[in-house]
Amino acid sequence: MRLKVSFEFEKLVLPIDYNHILQSTILNLISNDDFKSFIHDQGYIYEKRKFKLYTFSRIYGKFSIDKEKGKITFFDSANFIVSSYDDMFCRYLAERFLSFENIYLGGNFVSPKSIEVDYFESKNSLKTITKSPVTVYSTYLDENGKKKTLYYHPDDPKFKQIIEQNIYKKYYSIYKKEPKGFIKIKHVGKNPKRIVVYYKGFKIVGWMTAFDLFGDEELIKIAYEAGIGAKNSQGFGLLEKI
């Protein structure tokens, strides 16, 4: 399930890297405290991994950027998408969005205008574009024993392999068993755009591009609703149907 949230304001001024602000706003708006605690502190477990099974897009609207001040200013109105494999996540969120005249977003008050609800329609193939960057990486120790992060380009075979394995792990975290079906991810973007985001000071590299998905309907649903790649709950890997 996913929500497209539209809101209005006179002016919305945020840091250019606002992912942590939007993430905090989303979590704080969940109306059920027990569910909020579950998502924030526990999530869905696979071995040592914890999946939150939600993601969100960038904010879309008319804007200007001041690179010297590190600020992005939106004008009049904007929207974003929040998506979760767990329908209750979106239902609790919608309850709060619909109950407030104004919402505090990074030092600004914004007024919710509308919420569009989208339920995933089961299918074994899907053409998508990214609405937030997809990040795929591995870590290693250099010759000095220092931890390094290697980010993969969407055309690197490792990129596809890691994404598909990540979806299988998410399935296991939900159902506690291996999936019987399979999923294949094909990168079809001709000019992937490299995006660098700083999340609480930590550099993350992702890509805005397009993907075709094939395979088991349930695995495609997980990819579509929970996001692909890493750091979904920090605003990465949200796909939108073409």
| pLDDT tens digits for range 184-223 | 999 999 999 999 999 999 999 999 999 999 999 999 999 9
What residue has token string 């809101």?
7
d(CA 11, CA 35): 32
Per-residue confidence band for 234, with pLDDT thresholds at 50, 70 and 90: very high
Tell me the backbone φ, ψ of residue 175, rounded to 5 degrees: -105, -10
Give mean pLDDT, residues 74-79. 97
Model confidence at 241: pLDDT above 90: yes
For the domain bounded by 125-241, which CATH number is listed? Answer: 3.30.70.1900
C-alpha distances in angstroms, 211 versus 59, 143, 239? Answer: 21, 36, 8
d(CA 91, CA 190): 36
Q: Give this prediction's pTM.
A: 0.95
Per-residue confidence band for 233, with pLDDT thresholds at 50, 70 and 90: very high
Residue 48, classified by CB atoms within 10 Å of its CB into exposed (0-12), middle (13-18) or buried (19+), is exposed
The residue extents of the domains of the chain are 2-118, 125-241
108 neighbors 14 (Cβ within 8 angstroms)? yes
pLDDT of residue 225: 98
d(CA 231, CA 59): 17
Model confidence at 98: pLDDT above 90: no
Model confidence at 24: pLDDT above 90: yes
pLDDT of residue 53: 98
Model confidence at 157: pLDDT above 90: yes
Domains 2-118 and 125-241 share a fold: yes
Question: How much is the mean pLDDT over the chain?
Answer: 96
CATH classification of 2-118 is 3.30.465.10, yes or no? no
Model confidence at 66: pLDDT above 90: yes
| Identity of the amino acid at 217 | E
Both tokens of 220, joined, read: 């495609």
Q: Output 97 or 196, whichever has higher pLDDT.
A: 196
